[in-house]
Amino acid sequence: MPRAITIDDLFRLRLVSDAQIAPDGERVVCVVKNADREKNKYFSHLYLCDLRTREVRQFTSGEVADSQPRWSPDGKTIAFVSNRQKPKSQIFLIPVDGGEARALTSLEEGSIGEIAWSPDGTKITFTFRLTPEQWREQVVKERKEKGLSTPPRIITRPFYRLDGAGYFDGEYYQVWVADARTGEAKQLTNEATSCGSLSWSPDSSKVAFVCNRSEDPDLNPNLEDIWLVPAGGGDLQRVETPKGPKGGLAFSPDGTCIAYIGHTKVEDIWGVTNDHLWIADLSNGTARDIMEGFDRSLGNLTLSDMRDVGGGSRPTWTPDGKRLLFLASDRGSTKLYSISADGGEPVALRGERADITTFSLSADGKCLAWCEGTATQPHEVFTGTLEDGAIQNASAVTCFNAEWLAEVQVQAPEEFTCTSPEGNEVHGWILHPPDFDPAKKYPLILEIHGGPHAQYGWVFFHEFQLLAAQGYVVLYTNPRGSKGYGEAHTAAIKGTWGGPDYTDLMAAVDALLARGYIDETRMGVMGGSYGGYMTNWVVSHTDRFRAAITDRSVVNLHSMAGTCDFPLLPGGDYFRGNAWAEPQDLWEHSPLKYADNIHTPLLIIHSEGDLRCPIEQAEQLFAALKVQKKEAVLVRYPLESSHGLSRSGPPDLRVHRLQQIVEWWKRYLAQDG
């Protein structure tokens, strides 16, 4: 009989990503990541899938992190990024038909962002950010041995650090090119901000990339442009496009156009606006949105604790240049779409009630590979053929989690909709405990997603399954402010956090209570980041929940305006005013203002290494509650963790976090609590 899911299953799950199909369509390489309990680290390796024999074999090994496998145009070699020369990361090459991986590059200590082969197979372009000498591993070690202090940082710019990446210290991702035979590498850009989203011209003569070269990129983050640089180095050429954020560059097969993902609302720094597919015509200097009527945003915007936040995805041209493939988020699904290069209505190819993260197309455009998961199935590699505008013969190639799935009892969520008092549809899911009996009464946990402009959806979520296995009904929804339901739905909470979103969340709880199997005296609420903000808002505006857990949360928008890694720029049409002369609106929408109304026992989880929602947010809330002699516990995680602790933090700290959550709910929501 299947067993209940446990915390320790974090070490059994295999996380599959980055499915890349060979140019001839006969093999797929992917990345498989797992958490190692003994080493307390994540290791990731490349696996090779033969589509003729269906054989899946491990292609790289060792206590390493291998990522970004990319086929050479002739299909004989795979390039990938690896940290096997710790603390340095390098680009490695490995022959597909046998042989050892060899380091192509000999870079100093730093971080490689992305890599791409030139179409003629002679070069590899990549982005690289150098680690300043005083912060390199050996220098830090020597400093400690000598008893010297950590050197100070001299900061002159408002955007000087990024959660998960740390401090920039004047070094940014630049565009490089390496000779694929000799490894000789040359830096092509030297910008005062990062470059990214690389794409080769079909003749291998130029590299396109995105960079904000405006006078003050930190305070004008959406003034991004597409630039062309000769593969051998030289002057940059700007591609004529409207101002606005950009990414996912893809040269057309004939080299006359560049497709990209973006929009033109420069003032939107919060991500409310739908990202669409644009095509820039290099011959006449025009660019147009080819999906103006499509009321969805491109990219994978679905949250899960099984991977990092999905983000954007590069569009892919069919070889004849007539159509493009792309991912977009829709009502909790992340689907693969196709659209004519001339524009029109996108056609959904795959992904209904599923989550697609990456996809790739063979050189002839006939074979397709992608990573797909569902609410009950972690991601695996799938393949199919693209025929007559549809995917045919789709099937799973890998089954890395099959053995584990056969052991455990995974709960399938029930799709759920209700109507808020304003008439808005609230869409979400209900996860019932194993052996659920609607005639009984169950405790409820309301989970609130972060973002705020993201979505919950049809994706495996270990934490949700764990809570259901503990006997709780888990409710998770996409209230107004979420992505996937149209731009108006997303924009409904601009500058009004705690308004329409709160109304929708409470409407979902009320609708579930009406079913009769929830014990109204045993309800909990929890969330992370903006979900933590909403948890704080909920418990400061109602006492209906017996207990709450707020994780990496926003507490005080006023103070966060100066401590977040991204400067919260004043003005625009989001929060009004500013932090120094007109703080009223920021304070009005801060849960800390209402801390005297909080009577609900609160577990506060936060990381010292969180640069997105700094630890001072948790400190303010904890102090306010303790001074008032209210029930609050702060679990403070060390600098090794960041904002993404729940999905990518050190394995032992992820385990500890889940243990705290389980114990808190057991303490307050147990039958005799």
| CB-based contact 9:39 (threshold 8 Å) | no
Indicate the burial class of 54 (C-beta count within 10 angstroms; 0-12, 13-18, 19 or more): exposed
* Residue 663 exposed, middle or buried by CB count within 10 Å (0-12, 13-18, 19+): exposed
Angle, to 10 degrees, between the axis of helix 500-513 and the axis of helix 530-539?
70
CA-closest candidate to residue 349, choices 362, 331, 333, 332: 333
- Identify the active-site residue in 118, 529, 553, 648: 529
Q: In the numeric block, which tokens belong to residue 668?
A: 């307050």
DSSP per residue, 61-92 = -SSSBEEEEEE-TTSSEEEEEEEEETTEEEEE
Whether 70 contacts 358, CB under 8 Å: no
Point out which residues pair with 405 in neighbouring strands: none
529 is an active site residue: yes
CA distances to 264, 373, 526, 648 from 564, rounded to whole Å, are 25, 33, 22, 20
Catalytic choice (558, 643, 646, 648):
643
Residue 269 CA to its chain's centroid (Å): 17
Beta pairing class for 297-298 and 286-289: unpaired
85 CB contacts (<8 Å, ≥6 apart)? 103
Length of the chain: 673
Cα→Cα distances 524→443, 543, 544, Å = 8, 11, 9
Q: 643 catalytic, yes or no?
A: yes
Question: What are the CA-CA distances from residue 189 to residues 171, 211, 227, 228 (Å)?
Answer: 12, 10, 11, 11
CA distances from 383 to 20, 316, 358, 375, 569 (A): 10, 16, 12, 20, 44
Structure token pair of residue 398: 């890998």
**Owner of token pair 């401590």:** 563
CA distance 175 to 186: 9
CA gyration radius for the chain? 25
Instruction: Report which of 295, 261, 272 is spatially closest to residue 573, judged by C-alpha positions.
Output: 272
Question: Taking Cα atoms as reference points, which of 575, 405, 597, 592 lies closest to residue 497?
Answer: 575
3-state DSSP assignment of residue 14: coil
Active site residues: 529, 643
